[in-house]
Structure 1
Amino acid sequence: MEKGTRTVAEDEKKKDKKKPGRIRKFFSAVRLTGFVVLIGLLVIQIIDPYPVEFMRVKAFDMYQRAQPREVKTRPVTIVDLDEESLSEVGQWPWPRTIIGDMVANLFKMGAGVVAFDIAFPEPDRLSPNMIAENVSGLDPVLEETIRGLPSNDKYFANIIKQTRVVLGQAGFDRKIEDQEYRPPVKKSIAFRGTKPHAFVPILPSLVRNVPVIEKAAAGHGFFSLFPEPDGIVRRVPTLFQFEKDIYTGLAIEMLRVATGRRTILVTSDPLGVQQVGVAKGLILPTDKKGRVWPHFSKHDKSKYVSARDVLSGVVDPAMIRGKLIIVGTSAVGLLDIRSTPVEGTLPGVEVHTNVIEAVVDKAFLSRPPNMNGAEFLLTLFAGLVMIILVPMIGAKWTLALFLLIAGGSGGASWYLFAEKKLLFDAGFAMISTLGIYVQLTYMGYAAEEAQKKQVRSAFSHYMSPALVERLAEDPSTLKLGGENREMTLLFCDVRGFTSISELFDAEGLTKLINKFLTPLTNVILNRQGTIDKYMGDCIMAFWNAPLDVPNQEREGCLSALEMIDSLEILNERLEKEAEEEGRPHIPLRIGIGLNTGTCCVGNMGSDARFDYSVLGDAVNLASRLEGQSKTYGVTIVIGESTYKNVTDLACIELDLIMVKGKTEAVRIFSVLGDDQVAQKPLFIEYADFHAKLLKAYRNQEWAQVREDIIVANKMIDDLGMEHHGLYDLYEDRMQDYEQTPPGDDWDGVFVATSK
């Protein structure tokens, strides 16, 4: 029981030890950096600098361009001071008598309210009294008569006093010098809740109309539009503040006069303006500064009638009767051209028309204060998802998750705009999340690359590139242990190296070995082989480890053939060097042994130091076959397991041999050429003839074998191959067998006495 208790306690201690490790792993440097970046982005979102707001409103512009407001009702008609009117009546400003006649005609045709998107800040220069003052040399009687005539301004004032006219006022964001003080016009605003003076924009200057006209008007509204820094009019002010008094916009004042209301109701709270109410059913949702966000329509020419046609009385009465009339201009010379989210150029008067239509059709866009909180939470949620999951499940899956979140957020944002007329910005959250994803992915990639670079630097000098890359991809494989794999082994050794080495000193011999090993090594590596080790002038290599190599036997045999070719090129270069140095030249000759079989491959050695190598019986046999290449007078000797998978190459059987250290005979072959050589009719004929020769040899038909050897050598000459010593070996053996016959039960196996 006590022992069991101790075991439980020990388990608890182990769990406690693991917890700090897990916590440290979770709060890795990559994640901590991600948290810092996320906090910084959330702070930026709270501060909401202009670049962030700019990206947001541009996204909303895109929504409006994709789905501009469909015009359902046409409560407004624009009387246009167009180019044709200016050409016929004269340049602007027109005499106030003409403007008064135009207003009178509009009300005769049944206009509901007439508003001016124009101000009349100065007396009419064509009034009789102004002419009397400006023209010198007049007859006193005539001058007195002219001065007695009513002014054009009074004429205009008498007309608008009998009608419902809203005069325009212009607000400026700069102080106008020597501006005449005028007492404010009668108030038309009531407040509910907190007074909005702290939020309503303050304008230093207000350009109003001459007093005689201003006093006669039914209402006054400012028509100034203040484009945002990129020059686009998105939000239209309904209120502004001048000398601590709050004034209404032109569209709001028109609606007030049209509905017969004495005041409008501004509702606000400590966070700012909430809405402006004109009458029941005519409510304008605003931002905290009292600006409305109309859902703009495309430019609509059918809303316009020419001022010329109104004056001449030829306008369609249906365009006037019961309508709210705004007198404005589309003439380029009068400088009232604006840009909106859906139109690059639009007469400013049509912006006011969009506001009134949006009120009537309840087509305002709205951005409630809680949208900021929702966008903040989206940024927080998506950022945390990336920070937690990128290091955990990797960049590929988190990218798919990011695309899912981005698509869902973007779809929700579009749905809220298209169906609910709510402005929700998913852009900042998604850009922030993408930035966090890129930062986390880059840091993970950089850390991984640093680890790979360290592995490559440590092992690239004595391991194959394939192995180095595998270790770089997964450094955890650097541990003791191995695995069983079907592999092809190659041993290559120089023939007569002792004689060659006597021609060089130590330094020269080292250079020679390097010149020899370099091209042969390149051949092996280019054929997906792995160099196991160098043993003086000997090379050991293998295929199918650490990476799978399709057709490993073929790659090994073709490597052996290419090694022979590269050696010929090297011998030519060495011969020239020997001639230049005045020393004898002994050509380098090699023997190659190849065998395929199951081996144990992995990191062999001690805990302190180990090498990636291979062990197994197939390795020993490959080494023995390399040694037999000299005995059989051929360059390449391969085992039967290798031969079975390279029958398309130019191969011949050599013998049945029991190599030293083995108790069973193995069938061995030689590779004389690639598949192109194997397809030559002469080689096919030679290979068949050699097989018959070998059969006669095993049947102890010595005389027949000697005759066949002569023919076989002739075939080798015809093929242009270098004579091998195989048939000389058969001659020597036959002489021994004639003196000491192997017996009738001989199975053709030769027992090797040397390695």
Structure 2
Amino acid sequence: MFAGGPWWKGLGASAPGTPSRRNGILAIAVLAVLLVAGLSLLTPWKLVEARAFDYLSTISPPPPPDDGPVIVAIDEPSLAEIGLQWPWPRDLHGRLVEALRRAGAKAVGLDIIFAEPSTAAADEALVKSLGPDVVLAGDETFIETEQAAQHVRVEPLAIFTATGAATGIASIAPDGDGILRRVPGYGDGFAAELLNAAGRPATVPRNALLQAFGPSRTYPAVSYYQALDPDSFLPENFFRGRIVMVGLSLQNAPTLSQGGADVHASPFTIRTGRLVSGVEIQATVFDNLAHQLFIARPPAWAAILSILLGAGIGVLAVWKSTGWKTLAGAVVAVLALLAGSYMALRYGRVFVAPLAPALAFTLVASAQAARDFAAERKLRRGITRAFSQYLSPALVERLARDPTQLRLGGEVRTLTILFCDIRGFTTIAEAMKADPERLTTLVNRLLTPLSDVVMAHGGTIDKYIGDCLMAFWNAPLDDPDHAIHAVEASLEMLAALDRLNAQLQAEAETRGETPIALRIGIGVNTGQCVVGNVGSEQRFDYSALGDAVNLASRLEGASKDLGVPLAIGRATAELVSDRIPLTPLREITVKGRGESTMVYAPAAVSAPVSTAAS
């Protein structure tokens, strides 16, 4: 059977490392690249990658620059201290601007839209405070309808901008999932205009990602009422030379469920659940522009290259074979792709999305692993079909895992062997000679639960010899507690016999017949045996040979004379006595052995047995 070529060819399987396998891997890689490249163009996938950016960009983010904006917060203490309902009179904002200018602020940004007139006196007071060092907020909205796209721009009143104050568009454009990640592309954005007012003009990038520096209230902030009188509430020179942004910024940052006015979800929201105020978003944009801290997106060719890289690593991982090392390598590869993406983001300020190459790797590795698994299953089924009629199921499984063991021979192992025989079977068979089918059914009803017990305790059923069952432990699989398991199985076999006898008695009473009481005898012994594939070149079976096997058989026969259903040899008793109470019976000399041996029985069954158990 095994001559003339590799063993797997006879079972219809292809060898590892063949050209057909390698070609299959390359085909899988090409399909994976095409599939992932197509997915990366879809909006849902882009949102998934954006979420990856959220997690990576918020790992050890840089702190806000030291010369970044200071926020004057319209917060809860200010609302309570000032004692006026919002919106506040514009002359109050004029007082704030003048106070900040006197305190040495370089530029002031009011993240408040003054698009409608209020009282003439209040507007005039605000006009007097404005100048080129002040930026006022505007708004720009694009509304798309079925008919056309509408552009709506809201700006401060002309009387305010006539003072030289600039207008900065403060509109926030979140992604499709409501999270703000992109640097606003307005050339006249609020942060960009404030940079101009401070004498630090900066180029506004296109399609760049915003580097967040922390969750809500990361930037230094003071209450509005404190900024109105900095000499009384703040350290000396607190505002000198600083950029100041004024806007709504509550001390208790609202959550996603609460929402609120001028608050937005940022990448940190997925970690904290808190929204970030609009004025703090503007401060973040300011520092991204002022210090070029924004995150660039790679060109399309770089994204495709990353997908090819992921697929290539997958090909290398499965080129020779797949197995648990492939799984470990997959985890390492995915972690390496994530780490590479993070390093590029943090130190190169480029976001190369890690999910596309990771998916390409996973598709290649998992698809080839599935192919290899299917091939292995096919091989195992071939081995099972070829040898199941000759070998025990446990051995077939072992051989399916390692077919190199398909040879005659064996090994020396310490086994615990069990023999179980039906007492008085000749008498029972004589009584049922007119109904052989009933006799066969009865024997099967007994041997089935006894066999189930053996296998449940990890034993290997060697053979059935008429009404006798032979089993052993510690082969083919290692079992350090083989003696314990064999004795525990023996005790449970006796319990199974009692249950069967109860069923037989109930059935006989129902039919008005005399019940048949089955009895068994069990012999258990431990010792060195030769275990392996025993037989001929044409037919062999997995079995055990040796003096310990013969003694176990003799102990089963001697159990009847000893008056117990279970007889245990000395070697087994020494291994189980600390776990199972035993009673020494007497020394016996069995046929074929010159020396006597002490026989033991479990304390629970050491008394002379009843009719149902002897």
Q: Same fold (TM over 0.5)?
A: yes
Q: CA deviation at 1:85?
A: 8.2
Any idea what SS the aligned residue of 2:329 has? helix
Whichever of the two has the greater Rg, that structure is 1
Could you list the per-position Cα deviations for residues 414-455 of structure 1 after superposition, in whole angstroms to 9, with x for gaps in the alignment? 555555655454455446656766666677667767877898
Partner Cα separation in structure 1 for residue 70 and residue 468 of structure 2: 98
Partner Cα separation in structure 2 for residue 354 and residue 518 of structure 1: 76
Determine if contact 2:216/2:277 at 8 Å carries over to the other structure.
no
Any idea what SS the aligned residue of 1:502 has? helix
Partner Cα separation in structure 2 for residue 523 and residue 442 of structure 1: 36
2:188 is the counterpart of 1:289: no
Determine if contact 1:480/1:606 at 8 Å carries over to the other structure.
no
Name which of 333, 336, 351 aligns with 2:281.
351
More helix by share: 1
Q: CA deviation at 1:166?
A: 3.8
Q: 1:653 to 1:377 in 2, by over 3 A?
A: farther
Q: CA deviation at 1:563?
A: 5.6
Residues 23-34 of structure 1: pairs in structure 2 closer than 5 A: 23-27=19-23
2:43 is the counterpart of 1:59: no
Name which of 222, 244, 250 aligns with 2:190.
250
2:173 is the counterpart of 1:226: yes
Unaligned runs of 5+ in 2: 1-13
Partner Cα separation in structure 2 for residue 564 and residue 652 of structure 1: 22
Any idea what SS the aligned residue of 1:532 has? strand
2:183 is the counterpart of 1:236: yes
Partner Cα separation in structure 2 for residue 421 and residue 468 of structure 1: 58
Determine if contact 1:417/1:423 at 8 Å carries over to the other structure.
yes
Any idea what SS the aligned residue of 1:58 has? helix
Could you list the per-position Cα deviations for residues 29-54 of structure 1 after superposition, in whole angstroms to 9, with x for gaps in the alignment? 8x865764454234434657432333
Determine if contact 1:59/1:425 at 8 Å carries over to the other structure.
no
Determine if contact 2:108/2:133 at 8 Å carries over to the other structure.
yes
Q: 1:605 to 1:301 in 2, by over 3 A?
A: closer
Partner of 2:263: 337
Q: 1:545 to 1:356 in 2, by over 3 A?
A: closer
Q: CA deviation at 1:171?
A: 0.8
Partner of 1:72: 66
Partner Cα separation in structure 1 for residue 586 and residue 104 of structure 2: 113
Name which of 122, 126, 150 aligns with 2:119.
126
Partner Cα separation in structure 2 for residue 651 and residue 415 of structure 1: 76
Partner of 2:437: 507
Name which of 120, 124, 141 aligns with 1:172.
141
Q: 1:568 to 1:256 in 2, by over 3 A?
A: closer
Partner Cα separation in structure 1 for residue 562 and residue 64 of structure 2: 95
Q: 1:458 to 1:157 in 2, by over 3 A?
A: same
Determine if contact 1:489/1:622 at 8 Å carries over to the other structure.
no
Partner Cα separation in structure 1 for residue 468 and residue 384 of structure 2: 25
Name which of 41, 44, 49 aligns with 2:39.
44
Could you list the per-position Cα deviations for residues 109-160 of structure 1 after superposition, in whole angstroms to 9, with x for gaps in the alignment? 65544444334434x35349xxxxxxxxxxxxxxxxxxxxxxx878866775
Determine if contact 1:115/1:166 at 8 Å carries over to the other structure.
yes
Residues 350-499 of structure 1: pairs in structure 2 closer than 5 A: 350-360=280-290, 362=291, 364-369=293-298, 377=305, 379-386=307-314, 388-389=316-317, 394-415=322-343, 423-426=351-354, 429-430=357-358, 433=361, 466-467=394-395, 469-470=397-398, 474=401, 476=403, 479=406, 481-486=408-413, 487=415, 492-494=420-422, 497-499=425-427
Q: 1:618 to 1:34 in 2, by over 3 A?
A: farther
Say what the alpha-carbon RMSD is for the aligned residues.
5.3
Q: CA deviation at 1:346?
A: 4.1
Partner of 1:529: 459
Unaligned runs of 5+ in 1: 1-17, 129-151, 177-201, 240-246, 260-277, 659-664, 679-718, 724-755
Letter of the structure 2 residue corresponding to residue 227 of structure 1: P
Determine if contact 1:113/1:324 at 8 Å carries over to the other structure.
yes
Partner Cα separation in structure 2 for residue 296 and residue 479 of structure 1: 65
Letter of the structure 2 residue corresponding to residue 44 of structure 1: L
**TM-score normalised to structure 2 length:** 0.70
Letter of the structure 1 residue corresponding to residue 448 of structure 2: T
Partner Cα separation in structure 1 for residue 481 and residue 603 of structure 2: 14
Partner of 1:686: none
Partner Cα separation in structure 2 for residue 302 and residue 537 of structure 1: 90
Could you list the per-position Cα deviations for residues 312-360 of structure 1 after superposition, in whole angstroms to 9, with x for gaps in the alignment? 9978783555444545444899943344445734442333333334555
Partner Cα separation in structure 2 for residue 213 and residue 238 of structure 1: 25
Question: How many pairs were matched up?
Answer: 570
Q: Relative contact order, CA 8 A, sep 6+: which one is greater?
A: 2
Q: 1:165 to 1:539 in 2, by over 3 A?
A: closer
Determine if contact 2:531/2:544 at 8 Å carries over to the other structure.
yes
Percentage identity across paired residues of the two chains? 25
Determine if contact 1:79/1:325 at 8 Å carries over to the other structure.
no
Q: CA deviation at 1:22?
A: 0.8
Determine if contact 1:653/1:668 at 8 Å carries over to the other structure.
yes
Partner of 2:8: none
Residues 522-671 of structure 1: pairs in structure 2 closer than 5 A: 522-550=452-480, 574=504, 598-599=529-530, 601-602=532-533, 604=535, 610=539, 612-614=541-543, 618=547, 621=550, 625=554, 643-646=570-573, 650=584, 652-655=586-589, 657-658=591-592, 666-667=594-595, 669=597, 671=599
Q: 1:459 to 1:673 in 2, by over 3 A?
A: farther
Letter of the structure 2 residue corresponding to residue 236 of structure 1: V
